Structure 1
Amino acid sequence: MIFRLPALAALSLSAIAFASPTKYGGNKCGNHLALEHINAKESKFANDLSRVEIPGSTFSNRTISVYFNVISSGTDLSHGCIPDNQVKDQMDVLNRDYSGTGLRFQLVNVTRVVNAKWFNDAGPDTPEQTEMKAALRRGGPDVLNIFTVSFNNITADGLLGYATFPADYSGNSKDDGVVVNFATLPGGTAAPTNLGRTITHEVGHWVGLYHTFQGGCDGEGDYVDDTPAEAEAASGCPVGRDTCAAPGLDPVQNYMDYSDDACMNNFTKGQIVRLRYQIDTYRNITL
């Protein structure tokens, strides 16, 4: 996969210092973009990137404020009212998984709302999720808002979460954030996707990363050159799988694939470079 920068931003990777009992599956992530949409988004990114100040060969660390919004249909765990310790465990997973990126996530506030309509019906482009975000979202483009719901009435098979991309913020700031199934948090019931990696994956989109299998074996893929091409999403943990003729085995252990949570363990250097340029360009987060 190829991540291209304009000439003024060209930078070799070597020069950069890198400081679910229910069965869940199918369409795990709601972020599936048409090729035309991605091409337009990447063309805009290249143009926007040419106008920002490009950081040097080293990056500093940056703390991102997190507002955690727990939506439930009742006051117990079975109705989505996850306890504080589960939120803390999720934040610990998120910080471990992003420890090599220069990003740290700090929990600022947990908001709890009992609203059965939001809990059951919030999903990609539904009026319930629009209403929920309009009421609860805090901060600007550099602030991460996470919402936990159930997707009980959403028709997408096996949906675990979805997120907005950095470039989307200027067009619809009220929609910004990450929405996940509450059962995917550490200790939840969404085995084998209950170790907290759904939020890791969706935050990956929030900082500008595509799926590793984006585009299959052809084209620009995920616009990162050190994630080998992958014909389709992985499931389970098929280490050694090779679905494309291009060099490299499928990156099934990457956080941006669909493998089981226990299988996921890395972002590549190219992904780290890309996310840093994305958040610098669109989220006012300079590392």
Structure 2
Amino acid sequence: MRSLITRPRALAVMLAGAALTFSPLGGQATAQLPVDQLDDCFVPPASAAAKGGHGPDTRDVSATEQKAIEARTAQILKAKAARGIGVPQGALAAANVPVYFHVMRDAAGNGDVTDSQITQQMAVLNKTFAGQESSAASNTGFTFSLAGTFRYNNNNWHKDKQSSTYRKQTRKGGANALNIWLVDFSYLGIATFPWDYPRNPGIDGIRVHFDSLPGGSIANYNLGETATHEAGHWFGLYHTFQGGCTSTNDGVGDTPAQSSSTNGCPEGRDSCSLPGLDPIHNYMDYSYDSCYNQFTPGQSTRISDMWTAYRA
């Protein structure tokens, strides 16, 4: 996860008394709530804390479960290959991913972003997944196209309350569609994993703080790289510090193990006795947006495998 501050998240409660209406203009949707259900507006501090200070931005995966996921993925890929589904040996999957933005505003319009910001965010996704931010970066082969933008007025949804409910009510597309909900919460972003899609498809996607988009107000985290980080999880990547200083680590051979997440952009950081410096420039660490610049070839291979197994 990329976290802004450390405060408890509100427990999800069922939405009551909300009427969802759809505007004929621009495909926008509006959900209205009674005034007495308004929430106070939380404004992130100017000096945002390191991402991860509030817990993981994906559900915890133990070493035992991680091993089971890898075994299950291998079985699925083998079965698909036997049916002629998948990619040739040594090749990588490639696809154009439809992206749906859900802008969760409150009744006063707080949390809105401009169409230009969404366009810029799409450009960041296409640039980062194409490996265009560094000569050391890998081109994953995946591109992104804007499939729709929907705006809602709902004070609870804006604050990421009833998140399971609002995602199930608003999510678009199938397993291959990336849904991005823009909300105001104490995180920078939260994501689901691809292997969880069959169990709960209605909540699949990523939630991103609206002020982390290009032009947002969160210092050090307003270049749009939060969406790249969370989309990495959505494609099946762990944090580079998954498992700490272990040989298994994040399941990717060319991302050196690290004992903990990064804050800022500390060149030469080496938190682990295993070979290699900490991969602070990797999108799956917790570095500043300006520090990020790459996915590795190994991560591209993992993205390909996970896409083929769970999203293709």
Q: TM-score range by the shorter chain?
A: 0.7 to 0.9
SS of the residue corresponding to residue 46 of structure 1 reads helix
Match of 2:127? Answer: 96
1:184/1:196 contact within 8 Å kept: yes
SS of the residue corresponding to residue 31 of structure 1 reads coil
Match of 1:225? Answer: 253
Deviates more, 1:48-57 or 1:219-228: 48-57
Match of 1:107, as an amino acid?
L
1:141/1:282 contact within 8 Å kept: yes
SS of the residue corresponding to residue 79 of structure 2 reads coil
Choose the corresponding residue for 1:196, options 218, 224, 238.
224
Choose the corresponding residue for 2:117, options 69, 82, 86.
86
Separation in 1 of the partners of 2:221 and 2:65? 29
- Give structure 2 stretches of 5+ with no counterpart: 1-43, 131-138
1:26/1:159 contact within 8 Å kept: no
- Give structure 1 stretches of 5+ with no counterpart: 1-19, 123-127, 152-157
Match of 1:116? Answer: 155
User: TM-score normalized by structure 1?
Assistant: 0.84
Larger radius of gyration, structure 1 or 2? 2
Match of 1:55? Answer: 87
133 and 60 in structure 1: CA distance in 2 versus 1, 3 angstrom threshold: closer
The 5 A counterparts of 1:182-261 are 182-261=210-289
Q: Report how many residues are paired.
A: 252
Deviates more, 1:209-218 or 1:50-59: 50-59
2:58/2:193 contact within 8 Å kept: no
SS of the residue corresponding to residue 299 of structure 2 reads helix
SS of the residue corresponding to residue 50 of structure 1 reads helix
> CA shift at 1:191, angstroms?
1.1
> CA shift at 1:24, angstroms?
2.1
Match of 1:69? Answer: 102
Match of 1:5? Answer: none
Match of 2:219, as an amino acid?
A
Match of 2:291? Answer: 263
Separation in 2 of the partners of 1:32 and 1:24? 22
> CA shift at 1:200, angstroms?
0.1
Is 2:186 the counterpart of 1:148? no
1:74/1:80 contact within 8 Å kept: no
SS of the residue corresponding to residue 274 of structure 2 reads coil
Match of 1:224, as an amino acid?
V
60 and 207 in structure 1: CA distance in 2 versus 1, 3 angstrom threshold: closer
